[in-house]
Amino acid sequence: MPFFLTPLFAIAGIIGASIPVVIHLLNRERAQRLIFSTLRFIQMSHQTNVQRHHLKRMLLLLLRILILTLLGLAFARPFFAAAPDNVQQNGAKRNVLMILDTSYSMQYQQNFPTAKKEALKILANLDDTDAVGLILTSNKPSVVAPLGSELSHIRAALNTAVVTNETTDYLEALQTADEILEPVLIGQKSIYLIADMQRSGWNNFIETDKLSPDVDITFINVRAERTRNVAITGISVPPIILNEQKATQLVARIYNFGDEPVENMPVHLIIDGQVMSTTKLDIESNDINDAIFKIDSLFSSGNEATHTGWVEIPDDALTIDNQHYFMLKSLTSIKVLCVNGDYRTPVHQNETFFLKMAIEAGSEAVPIDLTETRTVPDAETLARYDVLILANVAEFTANDANVLKEYVSTGGGLMVAVGDKVQGDSYQGELSALMPCTFVQPFGDAFAREEFWLIATVNYEHPIFAPFKEPNHGDFGKARVYQYLEAVPVGNDTSIIATYDDGNPALFEKTYGTGRVLCFTSTLDREWTDLPIRAVYLPFLHESIKYLALKRDRRPFDYHVGDSIELRGFEDLDTQKLAIFNPDNEEMRLNLITEDNQGAPVVTYQNTGMPGIYSVHAPGAPPRYFVVNLDTVESNLAAREIEELKSMLMGNNDANATRATTLPAEELVSKYHGDVEKNQGVWVYLLLAVCALAVIEMFFANRI
């Protein structure tokens, strides 16, 4: 089917083509009546001559019409869109796919009911000969009524459609619709997108995402003219809080997405169901402000416990994003177990002498309970400790290794310090998965004290070294290291956070499961280094233990709406009797119980459509909690313009450009230009035809 670059010329051509006809009609003399003496000679001549003359005149007229039409067409620059089947446009049948936005931004005011009404209106204009389908979409589309469903079925689906708490991704829905419409051969193809056209819903859009050329899209915007929304977009709180710790803050980030500033807005902090604190905030339009709550005093008298809570702001037109949930653990002290691999008397030669001294000396600031053992304990014992220190431990059994791996993977912190007893093979063998590095060889001589290395470089951005960053806050360069184990890092999740002055690593870090491993390549006593008698030793140990015990990369119990959650740690429990309660305190079904490769049960739970606090109850065990929050990208109600969307999706509608994504960009562009150029070259031929016809016309006109 031809399209025109400048369709106005085509219209001009059609109008132009009528000019000869009009002139012909105007000029067609009303035959004058004339009484003539005799018709005998006229009759003799009339028959053949006049007919030939008329034929010539008609031919000439046609020729002139053709010339003007072709001239108009040539200037209109026709091109042929590479639509595969022209039949697609034929027929009166309509193929309509309605996409209804069910993301949580549609909870704003009357957006969703309006959208449903609009959808019903569209249905009312269709009849049984049309094929209709319905797609509900949030962050993923769901085809609730395939193309060709009965209208009553679609009406029912529309009536039962509910708005979700999920984010928006229009693109996937549109692609799904496009794919459904693609094999349809007969009839017009239309997509109706009934949505608030939220900007965030188009974030995944890239240039090549176009609809098929034969698909027509209609945007039905149900968004209110002006939107006002304030949302809590995040909470920053340490997942584990040491009761003694000073100045622990909970920061709730609050975003005003509206065009008007918010003043004196009360923000409540609720922990364990009680309003713990309230603060007031002013937020400019389209700006953020942080509500800061001090929570160190909240747990001073408490025992170790898991706390759940939320931050809350007053209700506005979109209420769902006015609460944000969190969970945290409070600890009275950090429990550290140290496995001493080189136990000695007298006491000051013991491997852990300086370690103990340092921890006890600082217990005022950081409450740490240190327990010493000489062998790796069993898993159950180990689970009671937050941090495990392996000081110059020679080797491990396979069982030891498994216990350690399980311990770290479930969130435990492990610190490995080497020494003369260390058997590198055992570390590389049994513990290889856990270790951040491979030991190569001992370097230096612990007894020849003339030669030494300094810890030259530390990563001050790392939480362990951050307190030393400021000038006069401790200098690792004063510590001398006479001997160390040369080591090379292994694995992708390993980082080097301190190095000696010869460039060899001094301290490795590795994350394993939800836990962490630190590996110091020298000793924790004075055998290989004089670090223990330096001022930085004590704060270095404290920070390391705190880091291992309290900092977690991931907040393991904080999920988004729609996430699938894997729950572990039910080894001793009957998983069949597990019960999960949603924020409305309804008991929910567990989706799947499987076993991981160690045979431990893993419970998968998927019904996380509702934000709030979920509790997991198992007989004979204290309840466990996890929180589910909204993805507040959706809270920003700013929308894109319909015109902009049209041009995005329809574009030039060149099918080749969208399909040939595998070609390199430049080739793609040149191919596209080539195609367009080729398709538009018709005008040259049209113009040539016009010239040829003009010559014929001249010849012909002179003959008549």
Cβ proximity to another protein, 48 vs 274, nearer residue: 48
**Span interacting with another protein, options 51-59, 229-237, 432-440, 685-693, rule CB under 8 A:** 51-59
User: Residue 231 CA to chain centroid, in angstroms?
Assistant: 19
Q: How many residues bind another protein (CB under 8 A)?
A: 22
Task: Report the residue number, 52 or 374, with the smaller CB distance to another protein.
Answer: 52
- Contacts with another protein in 333-372 (CB under 8 A)? none
Query: In the complex, what is the shortest distance from the CB of residue 37 to another protein, in angstroms, rounded to a whole number?
Result: 4
- Is 39 a binding residue for another protein by CB under 8 A? The answer is yes
Q: Does 447 bind another protein (CB under 8 A)?
A: no
3-state class of 396 per DSSP? coil
CA pair distance 237, 250, nearest whole angstrom: 5
Q: Which of 23, 44, 440, 684 binds another protein (CB under 8 A)?
A: 44
Q: Which of 41, 249, 432, 577 binds another protein (CB under 8 A)?
A: 41
Compute the residue count for the chain.
704
> Bridge-partner residues for 133, per DSSP?
97
Instruction: Output the CA torsion 479→483→488→494 (10° steps).
Output: -40
Per CB under 8 A, 35 contacts another protein: yes
| C-beta of 51 vs 594, nearer to another protein | 51
Three-state helix/strand/coil letters over 523-575: CCCCCCECHHHCCCHHHHHHHHHHHHHHCCCCCCCEEECCCCEEECCCCCCCH
**Residue 42 sits in the site that holds another protein (CB under 8 A):** yes
- Here the tokens at position 380 are 């159950």
Structure tokens at 581: 């309660």
Sole window of 33-41, 176-184, 256-264, 476-484 interacting with another protein (rule: CB under 8 A): 33-41
Min separation Cβ 26 and another protein, Å: 14
Among 2, 6, 53, 574, binds another protein (CB under 8 A): 53
- Residue 52 or residue 473: which is nearer to another protein going by CB? 52
User: Does residue 394 interact with another protein by CB under 8 A?
Assistant: no
CB of 16 to another protein, least distance (A): 26
Binders of another protein among residues 59 to 98 (CB under 8 A) are none
27 or 576, CB closer to another protein?
Answer: 27
Please pick, from the candidates 22, 26, 29, 380, the single residue that binds another protein as defined by CB under 8 A: 29
49 part of the interface to another protein, by CB under 8 A? yes
Residue-wise over 177-195: b if at least 16 C-beta within 10 A, else e?
bbebbeebeebbbbbbbbb
Distance CA 627, CA 630 (A): 10
Measure the N-to-C terminal CA separation of the chain; round to a whole number of Å.
39
Q: Which residue has the tokens 């937020």?
A: 283
The string of DSSP codes covering 408-438 is HHTT-EEEEE--TT--HHHHHHTTTTT-SEE
- Distance, in Å, from the CA atom of 536 to the CA atom of 55, rounded to the nearest integer, reads 112
Helix (H) or strand (E) holding 141: strand 141-145
CB closer to another protein out of 53 and 121: 53
Quick count: other Cβ atoms within 10 Å of Cβ 247? 7
- Binding segment toward another protein, per CB under 8 A, in 44-52, 67-75, 203-211, 437-445: 44-52
Instruction: Tell me how far, at minimum, the Cβ of 59 lies from another protein, in Å.
Output: 14
Q: Which stretch binds another protein (CB under 8 A): 32-40, 89-97, 291-299, 567-575?
A: 32-40
Q: How many whole angstroms separate alpha carbon 190 and alpha carbon 180?
A: 11
Per-residue HEC secondary structure of 277-303 comes to: EEEEEEECCCEEEEEEEECHHHHCCCC
Note whether 40 binds another protein by CB under 8 A.
yes
Applying CB under 8 A, does 45 fall inside the site for another protein?
Answer: yes
- By the rule CB under 8 A, 31 interacts with another protein: yes
285 contributes a contact to another protein by CB under 8 A: no
Among 22, 25, 26, 33, binds another protein (CB under 8 A): 33
Nearer to another protein by C-beta: 205 or 700?
700
Distance, CA of 214 to CA of 236 (rounded, Å) = 49
Which letter does DSSP use for residue 138 in this model?
S
Tell me if 43 contacts another protein by CB under 8 A. yes
Q: Is 703 in the site for another protein (CB under 8 A)?
A: no
Q: Does 38 bind another protein (CB under 8 A)?
A: yes
State yes or no: residue 32 binds another protein (CB under 8 A). Answer: yes
Interface residues toward another protein, by CB under 8 A:
29, 31-46, 49-50, 52-54
